Structure 1
């Protein structure tokens, strides 16, 4: 794209320089005609007609002729605002001399004259056209890039939404069967610890199925007790991660009330916790904290795992990007979509260092 813009600017500049040379050549012809007219003693009618046509053919190039004492001999094609003031015409001629040196008309009688000239108004305006043209071409390419990227992201969104809904549909059939068998097991041995744990996992599978079914549709933000949502996720995840991980939760002493979707928000928390567990390779310190700052709700998930490089941190939320050998690299991408599009918030990596750990931060606006 840059090469195209540069090529257009160069080509336009070459054309303008050619037009400049042509105007200078026309001025030279005009000077020759004026000198011949002054020196010729008795030119024929044909010669006089030719000289008149040369002089009258200049309808665009501003010309001012002064004598040695800066007295005006002739002027042509200058702006009307100067025509009523000889001083302004002389001042204009001096400004012309800064751009093009005046041409001296030498005569045998010694009354030499000086011809001042400038580019035509059209050529002066054309000097800016390469940059304007380059700017518009650049804007066109940027708009095209933005449009194609938006279309691509929209198509990707529909694709992932369709895949998520199909996954929810596929999970639903065996899940219904498992729930039925679970009821039978509860009738036979209702107080079994195993039955209760399996029941929790079935409920979790049902929640996961609901998460996938909500992708691509606008969720309802019916839940308000944010502390309760975070605490439920913490309690569930703590019993299902390695005991070698010191997993702690810091909650404010008062309830934080903010509209959110509990199912989708639990998905975000679970993604961040699982990423932290993977980064620590099943052993280390993991802290999740919730607090308020400037009327915003902040959730931080901090681990002391492997950390990220600058490149990894910049690409962590891009669909398909993953530092793991397994997985599709969709967890953080979907988490970002849930926080930004559905909860009008933001999610980012607030701190990371290779070998020392990473801190993810979720921001949700209370208003």
Structure 2
């Protein structure tokens, strides 16, 4: 149905919009990270230059010699003191570490190991007057590089929890609407059905001798009984139905007999015989029949008046399975789950509620499952109903 195509498109649009937002965020964060990395490289170079200046023996000698003016080293000291985040290692021309800062270990072995690791990673050292400068990114820069991924996870979690919350609220609201509509329908049907029953009994009494009228009255009574059954089914929606131990072969054959009388003679029904060795399931017969009738009615609509409908019953230790196969138009593989959603239909007329209601009856009231087992367009479809053996 169009509503689900639009819904799928909106999901795609929202996904694309989210991806664009994350991409822009990552691009901007990468830009900031690169700028900060350039600043840190510049700071590391300044730090080594300042350290080299202080280590210059001529400068120190000049400070000791009273005849020379004392140089102002305030700027150099400030540069050294300002770096408390960037790990820096200075390697001399002989390949030894002269000094380091902000490292977890100051031993020569550890520092040389760190230098070897950075060189293996392709790090290009800064070349100063007397040293090769190796440095690592500060904690702030590393956190900034991981920020887009953290942001993506947080946004995804927010969207996911929000979607689940809204979906849960929407399903709860839909359930209330379902229950309200079903019970109101049952209530509205009750009054006219009672009146029709009274009129049928009156007609039966005043024309007792007319066999033709009595035959018509009998058929009317059968149709009214059907209406009473429909009203009873609707009244059970929203409340826990009473489950009874039922022979699935006999119950399925009752459904076949009812639908076969209303089907084209060109449709062949291949159902197991009702006198097969009994397989007992705990079901509510009225509601279960509703599920099977929905499947058979959909199968008849899909076959255009000719073909076959086949049923198979089998079991395992815990469940009884009912497969209903038709030779109809089939269902596209991507629609196997969509067909159970309220409002989905391929018919020009119809509300698309039959399979949705069937799923609700089987799963919520009988603790079972209903699903499309297989389907091929132009060949046919098999639906499976899974029912527990024990209530």
TM-score range, shorter chain: 0.7 to 0.9
TM-score, reference length from structure 2: 0.83
CA separation of 1:128 and 1:39: change in aligned 2, threshold 3 A: same
8 A contact 1:251–1:290 mirrored in 2 = no
**Which stretch has the larger CA shift, 163-172 or 277-286?**
277-286
CA separation of 1:210 and 1:53: change in aligned 2, threshold 3 A: same
CA separation of 1:355 and 1:64: change in aligned 2, threshold 3 A: closer
Runs of 4+ in 1 over 6 A off after TM superposition: none
Matched pairs, number: 359
- Aligned-pair CA distance for 1:332: 0.9
Aligned equivalent of 1:51, options 65, 76, 84 = 76
Q: Which residue of 1 aligns with 2:141?
A: 123
8 A contact 2:340–2:359 mirrored in 1 = yes
> 1:102-181 to 2 correspondence within 5 Å?
102-106=125-129, 112-181=130-199
- Aligned-pair CA distance for 1:202: 1.7
8 A contact 1:309–1:354 mirrored in 2 = yes
CA separation of 1:40 and 1:27: change in aligned 2, threshold 3 A: farther
Whole-angstrom CA distance in 2 between matches of 1:86 and 1:65: 11
- Aligned-pair CA distance for 1:36: 4.1
Aligned equivalent of 2:91, options 66, 89, 92 = 66
- Aligned-pair CA distance for 1:45: 5.0
Match of 1:298, SS?
A: strand
Structure 1 residues not aligned, in runs of 5+: 107-111
- Aligned-pair CA distance for 1:91: 1.1
Match of 1:278, SS?
A: helix
CA separation of 1:270 and 1:52: change in aligned 2, threshold 3 A: same
8 A contact 2:45–2:128 mirrored in 1 = no
Q: Is residue 246 of structure 2 the alignment partner of residue 228 of structure 1?
A: no
Aligned equivalent of 2:378, options 343, 355, 367 = 355
Q: Is residue 276 of structure 2 the alignment partner of residue 259 of structure 1?
A: no
Q: Which residue of 2 aligns with 1:34?
A: 51
RMSD: 2.5
Q: Is residue 257 of structure 2 the alignment partner of residue 239 of structure 1?
A: no
- Aligned-pair CA distance for 1:223: 4.2
Match of 2:268, SS?
A: strand
Whole-angstrom CA distance in 1 between matches of 2:327 and 2:203: 42
Aligned equivalent of 1:281, options 297, 300, 304 = 304
- Aligned-pair CA distance for 1:134: 1.0
Structure 2 residues not aligned, in runs of 5+: 1-17, 64-68
